[in-house]
Amino acid sequence: MRILVVEDEQKVANALREGLEGEQYDVIVERTGEEAFFRTTTEQFDVILLDLGLPGRDGLEILRALRDRGTKTPVLVLTARDALQDRVTGLDAGADDYMIKPFAFAELVARIRALVRRGRSAETSRLAIGDLDMNVVTRKVTRGGRAVDLTVREFELLEYLLRHQGHVVSDR
Ligand code: CA
């Protein structure tokens, strides 16, 4: 389990690193938004903890840039700014959860676990190719946003093909 911590305050960053490593997470810390953004272009993370107040490009800009690029990694925003507007803006920009500093470490860990679980189930319940989208939990299929009616057998065949994208499959 890998976590990217984006935090410019050394003390907070160190505390997060120690605490999360104690919970058996691999922790990478970046101090600026630019470095964090670059890091996410080359590496995969299970969760990103993102401080909003950063030097240079702030956390919200980084978050928007990540989502514009299609990165779906769960992002938990950390901020000292206890304002409803910040919370709304953060969630609008694509944050999955939100914590206001100072927070209890145990709560942070619980929220991280929830995000990882949610991320996993979203990942495995949805299959897609091009504009075709399949939710294997609700058994709904859409193409270009329009519902497609399939028989049970058609659904199963399509699911099988989607799960084997890029591979030659046999009917035997
Ligand atoms: Ca900060």
pLDDT tens track for 115-159? 988 876 666 677 888 889 888 777 889 999 899 999 988 988 898
Q: Inform me whether the pLDDT recorded for 12 exceeds 70.
A: yes
Q: Ligand 1 centroid to 35 CA: how many Å?
A: 14
Q: Ligand 1 centroid to 99 CA: how many Å?
A: 13
Residue-wise pLDDT for 83-120, tens only, equals: 667 777 777 788 888 888 888 999 999 999 999 888 76
Task: Quote the pLDDT of residue 128.
Answer: 85
The residue among 38 and 169 whose pLDDT is bigger is 38
Q: Ligand 1 centroid to 27 CA: how many Å?
A: 18
Q: Which helix (H) or strand (E) holds 88?
A: helix 84-92
Q: Ligand 1 centroid to 157 CA: how many Å?
A: 50
User: Do 79 and 7 meet the contact criterion of CB atoms below 8 Å apart?
Assistant: no
Q: Which amino acid is it at 156?
A: E
Q: Ligand 1 centroid to 22 CA: how many Å?
A: 23
The rounded distance, in Å, linking the Cα atoms of 31 and 39 is 11
The rounded distance, in Å, linking the Cα atoms of 29 and 17 is 7
Contacts of 128 (CB under 8 A, 6+ apart): 134, 162
